[in-house]
Structure 1
Amino acid sequence: MSDQELFYLLALLKVEGVGDVMAKKLLAHFGNAETIFKTKINQIAAVDGVGSALLKNMKDKSVFEKAERELEFIKTSAVHVSFFQDADYPERLKHCFDAPVLIFSAGNINFKNRKIISIVGTRQITSYGTEFCRSFIEDLAPLDPVIVSGFAYGVDIVAHQLAMENNLQTIGVLAHGLNQIYPKTHKKYIAKMEENGGFITEFWSSSNPDRENFVRRNRIVAGISEATIVIESADRGGSLITANIANDYNRDVFAVPGRSTDVYSMGCNNLIKTQKANMLTSAADLVYMLNWDIQSTGKAVQKQLFVELETEEQKIYDFLLKNGRELLDTIALTCDFPIYKISGILINMELKGVVRPLPGKLFEAI
């Protein structure tokens, strides 16, 4: 996109009353932002949804000064800009009707990875949530997913840290411009995140981390991903808003269950109880529900030396080691496990690299 095209787009988005939905409608009608500004007011009035207030605001020349300042910041700060019709714009987000017209990013981000998940939750993460998040990301690491979160306290920053520890791309979605970071204590993570991942936002450099921005930010977290995972949440909180938005976008939502007496499990338990989220107890649940093809991943799932197996996994592994290739139904019957349970166990064993699936619902030990 040329500087001139970006300038007029920025100016259009600064017109009071022109949000992402209206901007897309105007762009679809007139072709580009420059044409919109050079079109007579009575022709703009013909566009569905355009009222007298918006027509009056289109005459506001101050939007060009604001656009010029932001364009200067973008150029001097080496900010990457993605237009919603560009090839490098997040594919899943394109299909959200209220997705941002422009996304600003910093770092080394690659949205081409099919496996993109968002991990959200309370800012008051407990040891239970931390340990679940750790094992969950470690088990998913061989599949090379992109981990998205909001770079906030609690679950967000834990997810980002664990993604970095496992050499996974991680993306922080910000509720403010790229000229600052919130919370300030997280500045120490910026350089590491930008090595393999980075930050995205729809907000300009003039935007502060105001309360209403976080709700807008949440729709990007939900829309950019194949699935949203809520690790822990009280009965109210921003992560539940993200889960509801993901449901509205017809995306998969998962929640980690907890004890009914645990304050930061109440939100997750309610999501599961009201069927707004699938129950998530392990990485295998996610792999199974999303139908991720383990064998086609770019990173081979290697068998680790001295891998530790759970009692149920060991029973199945010993059976396959002794009998060779066996059907899923035969494994379930012989090892005395219900089908619904053994499927999850086998997927977890695949992630550990100790069994592999074969055509015809066959499995064998590695």
Structure 2
Amino acid sequence: MTENDLLHTLTLQHVPNIGDITAKKLIAHCGSAEAVLKEKKSHLLKIDGIGVYTINELHEASHKVEAEKEMLFIKQNDIDVLYFEDAKYPEKLKHCIDAPILLFQTGNINLENQHIISVVGTRKITTQGIAFCEILMEQLAPFNPVIVSGFAYGTDITAHKFAIKNKLQTIACLAHGFNQMYPKIHKKYVADMEKNGGFFSDFWSSSNFDRNNFLKRNRVIAGLSEATIVIESAEKGGSLVTADIAHSYNRDVFAVPGRVTDSQSVGCNNLIKQQKAHMLSNPLDIPYMLNWKLEEEQQPAVQKQLFVELDTYEKEIYNYLKEHQKQQIDTIALHCKLPIFKLAGMLLNMELKGVVRPLPGKLFEAV
């Protein structure tokens, strides 16, 4: 968008009582933010759902003054601005009625033809949650998904760190403008984040830092992604809000189950019980349920490689499948005495080595 378009869009955005949904309605009717600002109030009042209270301050000069200040901040800090009708605006977010009309961006973000998932959860992540998050990133790495989260304590920063460790693009959605970074202790991760992805925000540099901002930004986390994964959650929490928003957008939601006595599993167990989320006990359920395919060069060979090296566990798995032919992952895990989440990773490695192949119905067979 041009500087003139940006200035008028920022001006419209600064008007009280005009949120993203109303702004889109006005722009759709008038053709542009500039046209909205030049339109007579009497004409705007004829639009369904637009009342005097909504547009009362539309022509106040102060809104343009503040918009000019924000434009200066944007230029001085090399911030990219994505307009909701731009081609570069995230495609999945375009389909969300309450998505931001402007999305501010830093870093090296590329969402074109990418699998995108959001990973959220409690700020008080347990060692089990951290371990599952690590396995999740390792096993999804061959599919090269973009990992979205909120840069907060606990699950968020854990997801970002393991994404970077596995060389995956990762995006943090902020609940404040780019004039600050919260929490401050996470500033040390900013450079790596921007190298391996970056940051999104729909807040101005002059926006008040408010706890409600975190709930508002959750719609961006949910809207960017084809699926949202909840690693751990207490009975109440922001990650459950994100899951509810994703569910309302008709996106897939996955929740990692836990023991009923674990306080940080209550939220996940409730999502599953309420049928708002698929139970996620095996990280490879994600590509299976979302129908992801490996790139052609990553596809296992039809014929297994000669002299391929297998470790002790892989040999046991291979010999079992060779003897018993097609078997479900639960049966293999029981025979080989391995946790399913570890076995799933081994089977993926063996698939890439060309010694096993997956079949419909979560079956595997030796090649």
TM-score by length of 1: 0.88
Specify whether residues 252 and 322 from structure 1 end up closer, same or farther in structure 2 by C-alpha distance, changes over 3 A only: same
Residue equivalent to 2:9: 9
Residue equivalent to 2:337: none
Specify whether residues 108 and 305 from structure 1 end up closer, same or farther in structure 2 by C-alpha distance, changes over 3 A only: farther
Distance 2:300 2:89 in 1: 30
Distance 2:297 2:30 in 1: 43
Residue equivalent to 1:166: 166
Distance 2:152 2:86 in 1: 29
Distance 1:308 1:146 in 2: 33
Residue 156 of structure 1 and its aligned partner are, at CA, apart by 0.3
Specify whether residues 271 and 235 from structure 1 end up closer, same or farther in structure 2 by C-alpha distance, changes over 3 A only: same
Distance 1:111 1:298 in 2: 21
Worse overlay, 49-58 or 179-188: 49-58
Residue equivalent to 1:255: 255
Q: Contact conserved, 2:17 with 2:55, CA < 8 A, in 1?
A: no
**DSSP-derived class of the 1:140 partner:** helix
Worse overlay, 57-66 or 147-156: 57-66
Render the CA deviation track for 1:224-262: whole Å, top value 9, x for unaligned: 101100001101100011111111011111111111111
Worse overlay, 54-63 or 169-178: 54-63
Render the CA deviation track for 1:278-308: whole Å, top value 9, x for unaligned: 11112111121111113x3675679995457
Which amino acid counterpart does residue 78 of structure 1 have in structure 2?
A: D
Specify whether residues 307 and 68 from structure 1 end up closer, same or farther in structure 2 by C-alpha distance, changes over 3 A only: farther
Residue 61 of structure 1 and its aligned partner are, at CA, apart by 1.2
Q: How does 1:68-217 map to 2 (within 5 A)?
A: 68-217=68-217
Render the CA deviation track for 1:317-350: whole Å, top value 9, x for unaligned: 3255579xxxxxx6149x9779xxxx99789723
Q: How does 1:163-312 map to 2 (within 5 A)?
A: 163-294=163-294, 296=295, 305-306=309-310, 309=313
Residue 267 of structure 1 and its aligned partner are, at CA, apart by 0.7
Residue equivalent to 2:319: 318
Q: How does 1:40-51 map to 2 (within 5 A)?
A: 40-51=40-51
Residue 84 of structure 1 and its aligned partner are, at CA, apart by 0.8
Distance 1:281 1:108 in 2: 32
Distance 2:262 2:287 in 1: 27
Residue equivalent to 2:336: none
Distance 1:161 1:101 in 2: 30
Distance 2:265 2:24 in 1: 39
Residue 357 of structure 1 and its aligned partner are, at CA, apart by 5.0
Distance 1:271 1:362 in 2: 27
Residue equivalent to 1:326: none
Distance 1:23 1:207 in 2: 18
Specify whether residues 195 and 298 from structure 1 end up closer, same or farther in structure 2 by C-alpha distance, changes over 3 A only: farther
Distance 1:306 1:2 in 2: 57
Which amino acid counterpart does residue 162 of structure 2 have in structure 1?
A: L
Specify whether residues 297 and 54 from structure 1 end up closer, same or farther in structure 2 by C-alpha distance, changes over 3 A only: farther
Distance 2:178 2:312 in 1: 43
**DSSP-derived class of the 2:137 partner:** helix
Which amino acid counterpart does residue 350 of structure 1 have in structure 2?
A: L
Worse overlay, 52-61 or 18-27: 52-61
Which amino acid counterpart does residue 137 of structure 1 have in structure 2?
A: M
Distance 1:255 1:122 in 2: 12
Specify whether residues 55 and 136 from structure 1 end up closer, same or farther in structure 2 by C-alpha distance, changes over 3 A only: closer
Distance 2:331 2:130 in 1: 33
Residue equivalent to 1:350: 348
TM-score by length of 2: 0.88
Is 1:31 matched up with 2:17? no
**Structure 1 segments unaligned to the other structure (5+ residues):** 324-329
Specify whether residues 300 and 173 from structure 1 end up closer, same or farther in structure 2 by C-alpha distance, changes over 3 A only: farther
Tell me the matched-pair count: 351
Distance 1:20 1:274 in 2: 30
**DSSP-derived class of the 2:56 partner:** helix
Distance 2:234 2:47 in 1: 44
